[in-house]
C-alpha cells in the first residue's frame, strides 16, 4: 500500500469536486453497508458500484491495484483456511481435511467485501488531500484525539517506510542478499526488524515530548463548521450514496 495515498488529489473529477464532509459521510455509509452484505446475489452489484465509483474518480487503475497488494496478501493468509473450517456439503476430502461448499462461498463473500471496502477507502482518501479529510472529520464532531492519531499514524508510516528503505539499502551496499533464504539471512532480517522497532519507539518518544513542549493537549478553541457551506450537488450526492447504502442493507 502506498504511504502517499493522496498523491492524485489534484485531479479533476466529480468525486474530487465533492465537498469533503459530504463525501466522508456518503462513502462511509456505503462502506458500512457493504460490510453487512451476506446474499451472494448482491455481491455483483456491490462490485459494479465499487468499480463505477473508482472509474468516476479518474484515479489510475494501477494506483488502486497497488493499494490492494499488501492488504490483499494479509487477507489471503486470513481466509486460506476458511474453506476447510466447516460446512456440510463436502467437495473434497483428504483424511480429516475437508473442503466444503459453504466455506468456499464464505471466501467469496469475504473477498468481495474486502475488495469493495478497500477500494472505496482508496477513493475516499485518494480524491481529497489528507489535511482536508481530517479537517472534515473534526468539523463533523469526531473527537480531535482520533483525528490527531490518524494524522500522526499516517506521518509515522511514511517515516517508518523511509527508514526501512535506507536501512535495506545500507545492508545491500554491505553485500547482503535478501533473496537467499538461510539462517544467516533470517538473522539479518530479524536484526533489521528489531532495529526498526527501537528507532521507531525513540522517534515517537521525541515527537511526543516536542508536541507537549508546544502545548499539545490544550483545549481547541476553533469553531466547528458542522454542515455549513456544503453545496447543493454535494448534498444530492450524499443523499444518493445514502439511498444506495440503504438498498444494500435491505437486500443484502
Query: Taking Cα atoms as reference points, which of 236, 181, 165, 223 lies closest to residue 17?
Result: 236
Task: State residue 194's pLDDT score.
Answer: 80
pLDDT in tens, 184-222: 677 777 777 788 778 777 877 887 788 777 776 666 555
C-alpha cell at 82: 476458511
Residues 66-87 pLDDT 10s: 888 777 777 777 677 666 666 6
Query: 39-54: per-residue pLDDT in tens?
Result: 888 889 999 999 999 9
Domain ranges of the chain: 14-140+226-251, 144-213
Q: 232 pLDDT exceeds 50?
A: yes
The DSSP secondary-structure symbol of 219 reads P
The sign one gets for the Cα dihedral 249, 64, 48, 89 is negative
Phi-psi region of 95 (alpha: psi -120 to 50; beta: other; left: phi over 0): left
Please give the angle made by the CA atoms of 161, 80 and 44, to the nearest 5 degrees.
90
Q: How confident is the model over 79-117, as pLDDT tens digits?
A: 776 666 666 666 666 666 666 766 677 778 888 888 899
Q: Mean pLDDT across the stretch 20-44? A: 89
**DSSP β-bridge partners for residue 93:** 98
What would the mean pLDDT of 134-159 be, rounded to a whole number?
77
Task: Name residues whose C-beta falls within 8 Å of residue 225's C-beta, 6 or more positions apart in sequence.
Answer: 21, 139
Question: Residue 26, exposed/middle/buried by CB under 10 A (0-12, 13-18, 19+)?
Answer: buried
Amino acid at each position: 500500500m502506498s504511504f502517499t495515498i493522496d498523491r492524485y488529489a489534484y485531479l479533476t473529477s466529480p468525486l474530487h469536486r465533492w465537498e469533503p464532509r459530504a463525501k466522508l459521510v456518503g462513502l462511509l455509509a456505503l462502506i458500512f453497508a457493504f460490510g453487512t452484505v451476506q446474499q451472494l446475489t448482491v455481491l455483483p452489484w456491490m462490485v459494479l458500484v465499487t468499480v463505477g465509483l473508482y472509474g468516476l474518480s479518474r484515479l489510475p487503475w494501477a494506483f488502486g491495484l497497488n493499494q490492494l497488494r499488501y492488504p490483499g496478501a494479509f487477507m489471503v493468509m486470513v481466509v486460506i483456511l476458511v474453506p476447510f473450517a466447516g460446512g456440510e456439503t463436502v467437495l473434497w476430502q483428504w483424511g480429516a481435511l475437508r473442503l466444503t461448499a459453504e466455506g468456499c462461498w464464505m471466501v467469496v463473500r469475504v473477498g468481495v467485501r474486502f475488495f469493495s471496502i478497500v477500494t472505496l477507502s482508496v477513493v475516499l482518501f485518494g480524491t481529497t488531500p489528507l489535511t482536508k479529510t481530517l479537517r472534515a472529520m473534526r468539523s463533523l464532531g469526531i473527537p480531535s484525539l482520533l483525528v490527531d492519531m490518524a494524522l500522526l499514524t499516517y506521518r509515522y508510516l511514511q517515516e517508518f517506510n523511509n527508514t526501512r528503505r535506507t536501512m535495506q539499502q545500507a545492508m545491500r551496499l554491505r553485500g547482503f542478499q535478501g533473496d537467499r533464504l538461510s539462517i544467516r539471512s533470517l538473522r539479518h532480517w530479524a536484526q533489521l526488524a528489531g532495529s526498526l522497532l527501537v528507532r521507531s519507539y525513540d522517534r515517537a518518544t521525541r515527537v511526543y515530548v516536542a508536541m507537549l513542549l508546544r502545548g499539545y493537549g490544550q483545549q481547541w478553541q476553533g469553531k466547528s463548521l458542522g454542515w455549513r457551506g456544503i453545496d447543493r450537488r454535494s448534498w444530492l450526492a450524499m443523499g444518493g450514496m445514502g439511498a444506495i447504502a440503504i438498498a444494500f442493507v435491505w437486500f443484502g
